Structure 1
Amino acid sequence: MSLFLPLLGKILPLYTNIVLGYLATRLLKVDRAGAAALLFYLMAPIVVFSATMGVRLDAAVALLPLFLFLFSSLMAVAALWLFKRLWPDATGNILAFTAGTGNTGYFGIALALIVFEPRVADIYIFTVLASFFYESTTGFYITAKGTFTARESLIKVLRLPVLYAFLLALILNLAGVMLPESLAAYFGQFRIAYSIIGMMLIGMGLVGFRQGGGADPRFLALTLAIKHLLWPALIALIIWTDSRFFGLLHRDLYRVMFVFAIVPLAGNTVTLAVLLKARPEKAALAVLLSTLLSIVTIPFMLAWYGME
């Protein structure tokens, strides 16, 4: 575990951005809704477009987001089936949503830019599409609990700007179109800005946080165990199985999968808890504790995996 302290040193600045985001909203009254809109509607499509254009596509790379989408959906459905009856309200649905995703976007992209070389970071950003699609399809249905129709859910998916950025970049990539070097460098700046503002947005979301009617130890234990123990364990098992018996993937994709698995709980958990009126303070506390816990778990997991 000699890598632990160097990795911790690399990751700690991410949490500085969270603190800065909190202070920006608390003291400077920065509008977090505006920051979120900037990230979602403008910067995320550019980041996804740039990464998809920069990825050298082969069968393994192209199938990785699909595999992780199916894996995420299976985790969510299994969690809903196992734990739904533990609560009389929609808490079980929120738990199921968290079981299928993590903060692969704001947190994960920032982490990928730190631990990966640019070529592999592009693959990671490309793979984050799995989370976008999961949260807008399987995750949406599970949390909506029948409140929204299939048509409303489809409209939600079709309104995702990153979808069209991805499709355009995929077509251009397959057609052999290359971005001019100056434009590629310009788009590269958006990845850094996206990771910084995205981490700050996590801190912005903590302003006004209240624990409310007390913590739910069972909810916290299950969400944190699934995200910080079960996800890494299952992905590590899949990596070991493929490397030992099948050889369908390669080392870079294994690294991408592992980083995808070790990020903290998704911030959108709180948004969906508000939507369902399922005591969102429980979700907020879980996301906060998961983000803090990842200060230790992420460098520990990366060191265990041997990733410098």
Structure 2
Amino acid sequence: MTLFFILLLKITPLYINILLGYLSVKILQVKKESIAKLIIYIITPIVVFSSTISVKIDLSLTLLPIFFYVFTSLTAIIVYNLFKKQWPDATSNILAFNAGTGNTGYFGIPLAVLFFEPHIADIYIFIQLAFIFYGNTTGFYITAKGNFTVKESLRKVFRLPIIYAFIFGLVCNLYGIKIPEELFVYTSQFKAVYGILGMMILGMGLVGLRKSEDLDKKFIFLNFFFKYVYWPLMVLLFIYLDKTFLYLINDEQIYKVMFLFSIVPIANNGVTLAIINGIKPEKATLTVLLSTIFSMVYIPIMIVLYGGF
């Protein structure tokens, strides 16, 4: 029980940042669009570059982003085909997108920085690129099915600066080029900035939220099932198989990183995609809000059950 409260105390600042984000828009009239652009075009590329250039890349580490990308994509495709006839609008598209991912960035990276040593947190950020690629390829295509072509989706991917930050960092890593020690401290600070502003963005998105007239309990239940039951079970199954038969990873620290990916809240990207595709954003926003609140207790419990980080 003591460990639970220690973990709960550790993640409390993340929720304080959500509140600060809400107040910054409500009281100070801060423009969330400007903060979002700052995160996407400046802060995130620096975080990805510094982590990619710093991490020690081996075969098992290379396999993990591929594994997660394939797993997220297959999950989204299967869920979409199972539930595509359950709603008259594109709600099933958002459900499928959410089932394939989680808030691994804005919520997950601050958690990784809190719970892991810096080099393990860098591994988390490196693997997290799989979820970014998913969100802008398979995930985007499923949510925009009928409105955008695959070519248009890929064009959007190649406009993201994070792609080129990753490629540049990977090339530097492979050629043994490192960030000078004097600059490493500077680039490392962007991880904290990313976490703070990323959580504030969640709070900013809550401004204007009202209770939807058509509260979709089925949508909320299925989102919670795939995020909080399906994901942990699948990751734990892979860890068991790897420890027992596969021996592809065979690293307890990496297992912890994988488990953290499985217990983060529902991704807030679905809200943006709901707006783009003309679906009532209240439904997606309310689901993300409930998930984020639920995770305040769920994450510490799951970490305690896992044995602690």
**1:144 corresponds to which residue?**
144
Distance 1:161 1:223 in 2: 30
Distance 1:155 1:61 in 2: 28
- Where in structure 2 are the equivalents of 1:231-246 lying within 5 Å? 231-246=231-246
- Deviation of 1:150 (Å): 2.3
Percent of pairs with identical residues: 53
Say if 2:125 is the partner of 1:109: no
**Partner letter of residue 240 of structure 1?**
Y
Query: Structure 1 residues 270-279 or 294-303, which shifts more?
Result: 270-279
Runs (5+) with no aligned partner, structure 1: none
**2:254 corresponds to which residue?**
253
1:224-278 superposed Cα distances (whole Å, 9 cap, x missing partner): 1111111111111111111111111021211111111111011111111111112
The question of whether the paired residues in 2 share the 8 Å contact of 1:22 and 1:206 is answered with yes
SS of 2:192's partner is: helix
- Deviation of 1:84 (Å): 1.2
Distance 1:247 1:287 in 2: 36
**Partner letter of residue 59 of structure 2?**
A
Pairs aligned (count): 308
| TM-score normalised according to structure 1 size | 0.98
Distance 1:257 1:2 in 2: 24
- Deviation of 1:190 (Å): 0.5
**Partner letter of residue 134 of structure 2?**
Y
Say if 2:210 is the partner of 1:201: no
The question of whether the paired residues in 2 share the 8 Å contact of 1:2 and 1:303 is answered with no
**2:79 corresponds to which residue?**
79
Distance 2:308 2:41 in 1: 33
Distance 2:289 2:273 in 1: 15
**Partner letter of residue 168 of structure 1?**
F
**1:90 corresponds to which residue?**
90
After superposing on structure 2, the runs of 4+ consecutive aligned residues of structure 1 that deviate more than 6 Å are: none
**1:65 corresponds to which residue?**
65
**1:293 corresponds to which residue?**
294
| TM-score normalised according to structure 2 size | 0.98
**2:177 corresponds to which residue?**
177
**1:222 corresponds to which residue?**
222
1:79-107 superposed Cα distances (whole Å, 9 cap, x missing partner): 11111111111000110000011111110
The question of whether the paired residues in 2 share the 8 Å contact of 1:48 and 1:165 is answered with yes
- Deviation of 1:3 (Å): 2.0
1:110-142 superposed Cα distances (whole Å, 9 cap, x missing partner): 110001110100000111101110000000110
**2:269 corresponds to which residue?**
268
Provide the aligned C-alpha RMSD in A: 1.0
Query: Structure 1 residues 208-217 or 156-165, which shifts more?
Result: 208-217
- Where in structure 2 are the equivalents of 1:151-162 lying within 5 Å? 151-162=151-162
SS of 2:85's partner is: helix
**1:55 corresponds to which residue?**
55
Distance 2:213 2:137 in 1: 31
Query: Structure 1 residues 123-132 or 271-280, which shifts more?
Result: 271-280
Say if 2:12 is the partner of 1:5: no
Distance 1:269 1:35 in 2: 18
The question of whether the paired residues in 2 share the 8 Å contact of 1:22 and 1:207 is answered with yes
The question of whether the paired residues in 2 share the 8 Å contact of 1:72 and 1:100 is answered with yes
- Deviation of 1:2 (Å): 4.4
1:200-236 superposed Cα distances (whole Å, 9 cap, x missing partner): 1110110111222231010000001111111111111
Runs (5+) with no aligned partner, structure 2: none
The question of whether the paired residues in 2 share the 8 Å contact of 1:25 and 1:32 is answered with yes
**Partner letter of residue 60 of structure 1?**
S
- Deviation of 1:307 (Å): 2.2
